A and B are shown apart, each in its own frame.
Chain A
Amino acid sequence: MSGGENPPQVSPPPSGRTPESGDLRARERQEGWAVPIDAVDAFTLGAAIAVAPDKIEQELTALWRKAAERAQSTDARFTVTRACLWNFIIHSNGEEEFFFTKRLIDEMSESVPARILSLYETSEAEKSDASVVGDDGSPLRASVEANFRRSGTGRREVLAEEITLEAPHIEANRLSGLVRSLLLADVPTALFVRNPATQYGWLPRLAPEADRFIFDSRKLGSGATLQCTYNNLQKLYRSQPAGGRPVVEIADLGWVRLWPWRILLAGLFDPPQATQALRQLDSIEIHHSAGEEPAALLMAGWLLERLGLGPVSQSAPGVWSLKPEGEVAQKPAELRLVSEPAQERPVGIVGIASIELKSGEHVFSARGVADSRSISLGSPFQPERVQPVHGRPDSELMVAVMGVGGRDPLMYEALRLGAQLVGIQSTAGAGTGETSK
């Protein structure tokens, strides 16, 4: 098809994009499909337009031009401002992840206009009207759509584009070349892989294109997967010489979720007496809900890195001996990670229930408060206080990691030490540290 010139060729609803599926923009999309509109109207309403994979750029150019023309008319209910701050490659494996992806992209685009390259790996081959059939018989489908936001006056502001490449069992050779050709020049590229513990065949080919690699440790589910993620990232990026190109920035949505815990915990140690107590730490105890072990390991990794403590051995499931390795901690200490069923204690918003640091007779604590999203802070040197912790949707976290929040070298150190704790645990043949209180 040719953008806007031909009769309506709106793509059939891509699998799963129905109101029942919880798609945020289902209404607009449905509106786009329900009325007899042409491709340009459909584009400006956010509907997906099927295009031939080798004609994506041409189609987009035509669609943008036509959309801008129509935005000039007096009765236009939209404006057109094409903008792009990033190339954003996002991968979805299966329908469920794809729904999540669509929602994430729609919300995120309100704040960060980007060229979205959505790689949708379907679980099985479909008999479809695919635009192109590959040599190997696998259909590769492509569609384009506009992303927009509401302006202050309520008008739809069409501003960015989303390209979906859909195929069963994506093949790296074909896909990586196509994606590379679609990356816009002079803007950085972010690559979001929800679970990098999985060995995707295409990933090593596309990973070098990224300026920022983003994952979500909360989706990992276990310490073992966190360790696997760390190993894969090492292989993808850290074991390769930079070769003159900038080092890829690795960002984790889960790490950003831990920010309130970290800043509040740090605040407990501002008084000089508390800072001194930190140097004589006896123990760190982190309670987390089942399945949130990665968050607890990252938190532990951060504390170990900051305090200059190294894990030596595991004395019992979920209990590690630590030795001072830097200039801060002055004596050995103990780390305890305790997994609990979520319903027993409030777990805040990232699955951490409480963090307690003991130094002699002094106890410093941060605990999730029941029935409100708050953390209660206790210190012998400060008034007790309750601090609200606001849960942030994934789209906001994504916007944060695409800004300065995505450049935190401490994250990778915390990940390294978290993986190291799991490594010691594996070596000791212990369980996953799920001691129950």
Chain B
Amino acid sequence: MSGTDPKIDNPLREGLVGERQPDPCAMVIFGASGDLTKRKLVPALYTLARERLLPAGFAIVGMARREIPFADQMREAVDKYARRRPLDPGLWSSFGAGISYIAGNFDDPAAYERLKAHLAEIDAQRGTGGNRVFYISTPPESFEPILRNLGAAGLINQQPEGSGGPWTRVIIEKPFGTDLKSAEELNATCLKVLREDQIYRIDHYLGKETVQNILVFRFANGIFEPLWNHKYIDSVQLTVSEAIGIEGRGNYYDQSGTLRDMVQNHIFQFMCLMAMEPPVAFEAGSVHDEKVKVLRALRELPTDEIDSWAVRGQYGAGFEKGQPVPSYREEQGVRPDSRTETYIALKLFIDNFRWAGVPFYIRAGKRMPKRVSEIGITFKNVPHALFKGPTGAQLGREPNVLALRIQPDEGINLKFLSKVPGPTIEPRPVTMDFRYGSSFGTEPPEAYERLLLDCMLGDGTLFTRGDEVLQSWRFCTRILDAWAEGNAKATNPLPSYEAGSWGPAEADEMLTRDGRTWRKP
């Protein structure tokens, strides 16, 4: 929360629990002509306004290179993409009145002078009080000139929040770097003009209700946390699969790959929330501290036998929902000899007291059978098989499994054994199932709604801190380097998998060697 909170003295606010409203502010979106602004950002802001979560003094300023009818486009976008549709004309009359646009090159200092004058006008007209959120939703190469020019134009207030003056916060979209070196450089650029607490590195997965629920599940229930360690947990599997391919993003994806696109950010964030120690408080600093500890405890993978620990694959031709789909190398924008991975399976260990010896198996990929994000926790078996079948075979040796489903069909289920009714003892697995959709009967907010609101409130808990990002890049860059070395020597073949399958055989073998199998989520 910002330090200057006028609402504290408003007696009518007291007791109105359940809604948080930020200070008046203006949000400047760089890259406003892009898809993200249209599909996610402005519809999310409109929904926040509709839910009475935005202050009266609020304005959006779009900025991009070319001239566009921004307000009209945003009206169309809200009508098409907002969670609450159709657009409410009455609300739009006041929400739309706060939308404006400035065309300019991101590396042109004059554009920032125009922006500065424009924001001063908005402060006077809409009472935004000098508070600013700058949302950088541009290709990564524009991050540096935008930050530099914002600083040079005096648009960033570096006074600590709470000192009474207006505040400035900057949201930076992913990718935050492409490897450790580029991430360090970008971080250094940010820190030249901003304090760490002004930087909101966004990972929209953290805005999902089910991801946040991992913390509630672990730390608000007394029964699970005592079991949450190597004494009771056999292994953990994190799966993020997508049925779709690269959807016309060949140029981007071929430079990126699954490790950069999914693992370094989203999956490592899940893993941190799942594995971290209880923070001393549910606030940004404490949560980030614990996440960093998990990343620091990740055992480095042996680069000389990287393929045993990090299996990569690339999809071949196959079928998606019965329709033939091309191989990755046949996709538009992809090099015909590309060695970019569209699938990855990792075997990780977190070397600390809690997780000693517990393997974390991670897999992510495109063109898999279905879209699933889940964490599967397999518990250790009972120490002794009490129940035996007529032939003496051991019964009841199936482990308990707790699955935290992030998407779709968000929820939690627990598999345990139960006696089949009848005269004999026959244990059979049954599941207890909790589903978000049917248990609360309310539609969860879009991830961007939550994250934009949190940023305006000055709450960075669901964003990533600089040291987290660097630590995860440190780990991933070693893998990338090992792969690059292998590519150069062409010693490691790139396994392929059929589109619509669960990945290459090598990934299955990685678990088979450990006497385990992948879950079928």
Give A residues with C-beta under 8 Å from B.
Answer: 81, 110-112, 149, 151-152, 157, 260, 262-272, 274-275, 278, 303, 306-308, 328, 369, 372, 374, 377, 379, 381-388, 399, 404-405, 408-410
A-B contact pairs, 22 of them (CB 8 A): A111-B440, A149-B438, A266-B13, A267-B55, A269-B13, A270-B10, A270-B55, A271-B6, A271-B127, A274-B10, A275-B10, A278-B11, A306-B11, A383-B57, A385-B56, A386-B91, A386-B93, A388-B50, A388-B88, A388-B90, A404-B17, A404-B18
Decide if B514 is an interface residue (CB 8 Å cutoff): no
Does B10 lie within 8 Å of A399, measured CB to CB? no
Note all chain A residues with C-beta closer than 8 A to B7.
Answer: 270
Contacts of B438 in A (CB 8 A): 110, 149, 151-152, 157
Majority-rule SS of A interface residues? mixed
B488: interface (CB < 8 Å): no
A260 to B97, CA, bound (A): 22
Kindly state whether residue B94 has any CB partner on chain A within 8 Å: yes
- Number of B interface residues in the complex (CB < 8 A): 40
- Given A275-B10, A328-B11, A383-B97, the answer on whether A152 and B441 have CB atoms closer than 8 Å is no
A268 to B127 CA separation, bound complex (whole angstroms): 13
Q: Is the CB of B11 within 8 A of A383?
A: no
Which 8 A-B pairs rank lowest in CB-CB distance, beginning with the nearest?
A: A111-B441, A385-B94, A266-B12, A382-B56, A386-B90, A374-B90, A410-B15, A306-B11
Cβ of A81 and Cβ of B11 under 8 Å apart?
Answer: no
> Quick one: given A270-B10, A372-B88, are A384 and B94 in contact (CB under 8 Å)?
yes
Shortest Cβ gap from A208 to chain B (Å): 27
**Contacting pair B13 A383 (CB below 8 A):** no
Does the CB pair B127–A381 fall under 8 Å? yes
Residue of A nearest to B13 (CB): A266
A-B contact sample (17 more), CB < 8 A, given A303-B12, A307-B11, A379-B56 = A110-B438, A152-B409, A262-B12, A262-B16, A263-B19, A266-B13, A267-B52, A267-B56, A269-B12, A270-B6, A271-B6, A275-B9, A306-B14, A383-B97, A386-B91, A388-B50, A408-B15
Bound Cα distance from A58 to B389, whole angstroms: 34
How many angstroms between the C-alpha atoms of A135 and B55 in the bound complex?
A: 64
**Contact with A374, one of B15, B19, B57, B88 (Cβ below 8 angstroms):** B88
Question: In the complex, which residues of chain A have a beta carbon less than 8 angstroms from the beta carbon of B93?
Answer: 386
Chain B proximity of A151: nearest CB distance (Å): 6
The answer to whether B76 has its CB under 8 Å from any CB of chain A is no
Could you list which residues of chain B lie within 8 angstroms of chain A, going by C-beta atoms?
6-7, 9-19, 21, 49-50, 52, 55-57, 88-91, 93-95, 97-98, 125-127, 409, 433, 435, 437-438, 440-442
Query: Once A and B bind, how many residue pairs between them come within 8 Å at the CB atom?
Result: 107
On chain B, the residues within 8 Å of A374 by CB distance are: 88, 90-91
CA distance A381 to B125 in the complex (A): 10
Given A267-B56, A383-B56: A275 and B14 interface contact (C-beta under 8 Å) = no
- Bound-state Cα–Cα, A189 to B500, Å: 50
Picked from B14, B52, B126, B437, the residue with its CB within 8 Å of the CB of A263 is: B52
Return B138 CB to nearest CB of chain A, in Å.
29
Which residues in B have their C-beta under 8 angstroms from that of A266? 10, 12-13, 16
Bound Cα distance from A269 to B127, whole angstroms: 14
Closest CB of chain A to B165's CB: distance in Å?
Answer: 15
Most buried by A among B52, B55, B95, B125: B52
Contacts of A328 in B (CB 8 A): 11
> Which of B6, B88, B90, B442 gathers most chain A CB within 10 Å?
B90
The minimal Cβ–Cβ distance linking B443 to chain A, given in whole angstroms, is 12
A386–B95 CA distance with the chains assembled, in angstroms: 9
